[in-house]
Amino acid sequence: SAVISQKPSRDICQRGTSLTIQCQVDSQVTMMFWYRQQPGQSLTLIATANQGSEATYESGFVIDKFPISRPNLTFSTLTVSNMSPEDSSIYLCSVRTGGIPYYGYTFGSGTRLTVV
Amino acid sequence: RKEVEQDPGPFNVPEGATVAFNCTYSNSASQSFFWYRQDCRKEPKLLMSVYSSGNEDGRFTAQLNRASQYISLLIRDSKLSDSATYLCVVNLPGGSYIPTFGRGTSLIVHP
Question: What count of residues does chain A have?
Answer: 116
pLDDT score for B29: 86
pLDDT score for A113: 96
User: Could you report the per-residue pLDDT of A13-69, keeping only the tens digit for each?
Assistant: 999 999 999 999 999 998 899 999 998 888 999 999 988 888 999 999 999 999 999
Cβ within 8 Å of B, A 51-90:
none
Subunit contact A104:B46, Cβ cutoff 8 A: yes
User: Could you report the per-residue pLDDT of A57-113, keeping only the tens digit for each?
Assistant: 999 999 999 999 999 999 999 999 999 999 999 999 999 877 766 678 899 999 999
Subunit contact A42:B101, Cβ cutoff 8 A: yes
pLDDT score for B95: 61
The series of mean pLDDT values per 10 residues for chain B, 111 residues long, is 87 97 92 92 92 92 95 97 96 74 95 95
Residues of B in contact with A92 (CB under 8 A): 43-44
pLDDT score for B73: 97
Angle ∠(B40,B30,A102) on CA atoms, nearest 5: 65
Q: Is B81 helix (H, G, I), strand (E, B) or coil?
A: helix
DSSP annotation of A58 reads P
pLDDT score for B99: 84
The values of phi and psi at residue B93, to 5°, are -65, 160
pLDDT score for A53: 83
Long-range contacts of B67-73 (CB under 8 A, 24+ apart): B68/B24, B69/B24, B69/B25, B69/B26, B69/B28, B69/B30, B70/B22, B70/B23, B70/B24, B70/B25, B71/B22, B71/B23, B71/B25, B71/B33, B71/B35, B72/B20, B72/B21, B72/B22, B72/B23, B73/B20, B73/B21, B73/B23, B73/B35, B73/B47
